[in-house]
């Protein structure tokens, strides 16, 4: 009974916090539009496939059929519905983007913060490792790995993208922490003998949340481009073979560009990737409003 009362007692504060966050997001119209765009693509790629079955039936009499009520975006080189493929092809794109962004940001925050706060040999070692990693050409390495290892697992591909992407963000996080570590509240925490973990995650990180969130978004956009490029080159494929990058690659290799009614088949996944990227980048314009404590006072 007491647990239920405590649960209901917390509801107003949660709803109030949610309402405040939405108001802060809505302050920047472009950023709020990007936020709505991200929500749309999450619904489109993760929820809509439940209601729209995938069309894998070959129809030789409907190859590259134009858009109609039966096929909103026309059909592909096998007469399959393009819209259903687009709906089912976004899940891998979004999952890889979110997982890669999360892992990359986590590694960069941990290594960059430790490098700046501890200094000395730790700083030298991490920065030397980051410099060595930055000298490795990422996309060619991914292409070579894809030719040696079958990258048909979403998590494996996200992990590889993260391991190749962390150094740039690590150096940026280090620079931010080096600036913040000179602040009075950090010096006070250090003089009180508080642990490095407390100083990093309780004193420094809260003042960097907007920067970290924006870095997360840009790590996601880089992951989307990387996986689309690998898929276009035919170096990766997933179990259902419907990701947006694979659809673009199939449209190119099957000669869809030479058919007049295949325009939507070619452009649908391209526009989906472009609009998803645009939504992410636009969303960053509202993140400062959400994470900057000084901007919250007016709400």
User: How do residues 143-182 score in pLDDT, each as one tens digit?
Assistant: 777 777 777 778 888 888 888 888 888 888 888 888 877 7
pLDDT in tens, 85-121: 888 888 888 988 999 999 999 999 888 888 888 888 8
Per-residue pLDDT, 14: 59
Q: What is the pTM of this model?
A: 0.81
Question: CA-CA distance, 155 to 153, in Å (whole number)?
Answer: 6
CATH of domain 87-292: 1.10.3720.10
pLDDT for residue 295: 54
Separation CA 226–CA 228 (nearest Å) = 5
Average pLDDT over residues 230-253: 76
| Residue ranges per structural domain of the chain | 87-292
Q: How many CB atoms lie within 10 A of CB 41?
A: 19
H-type alpha helices, 28-119: 29-42, 82-88, 90-118
* Other beta carbons within 10 Å of 4: 8
Q: According to the model, what pLDDT value does residue 241 have?
A: 58
Q: How much is the pLDDT for 240?
A: 58
**Collapsing DSSP states into helix, strand and coil, what is residue 151?**
strand
Looking at the DSSP bridge assignments, the partners of residue 155 are none
> Within the chain, what is the greatest distance between any pair of CA atoms?
78
């Amino acid at each position: 009974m007491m647990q239920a009362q405590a649960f209901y007692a917390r509801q107003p504060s949660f709803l109030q916090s949610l309402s405040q966050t939405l108001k802060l997001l809505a302050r920047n119209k472009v950023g709020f539009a990007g936020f709505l765009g991200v929500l749309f693509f999450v619904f489109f790629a993760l929820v809509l496939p439940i209601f729209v079955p995938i069309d894998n039936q070959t129809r030789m009499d409907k190859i590259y059929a134009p858009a109609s009520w039966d096929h909103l975006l026309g059909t592909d080189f096998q007469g399959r519905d393009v819209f259903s493929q687009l709906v089912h092809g976004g899940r891998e794109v979004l999952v890889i983007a979110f997982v890669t962004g999360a892992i990359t940001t986590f590694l960069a925050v941990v290594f960059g913060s430790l490098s700046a706060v501890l200094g000395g040999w730790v700083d030298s070692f991490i920065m030397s490792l980051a410099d060595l990693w930055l000298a490795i050409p990422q996309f060619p390495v991914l292409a070579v790995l894809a030719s040696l290892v079958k990258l048909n697992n979403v998590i494996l591909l996200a992990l590889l993208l993260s391991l190749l992407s962390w150094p740039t963000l690590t150096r940026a996080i280090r620079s931010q922490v080096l600036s913040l570590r000179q602040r009075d509240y950090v010096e006070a925490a250090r003089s009180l003998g508080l642990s490095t973990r407390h100083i990093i995650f309780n004193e420094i990180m809260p003042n960097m949340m907007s920067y970290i969130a924006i870095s997360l978004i840009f790590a996601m956009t880089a992951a989307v481009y990387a996986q689309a490029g690998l898929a276009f080159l035919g170096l990766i494929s997933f179990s259902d073979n419907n990701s947006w990058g694979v659809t673009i690659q199939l449209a190119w290799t099957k000669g869809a560009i030479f058919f007049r009614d295949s325009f939507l088949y070619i452009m649908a996944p391209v526009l989906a990737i472009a609009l998803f990227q645009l939504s992410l980048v636009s969303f960053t314009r509202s993140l400062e409003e959400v994470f900057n404590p000084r901007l919250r006072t007016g709400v």
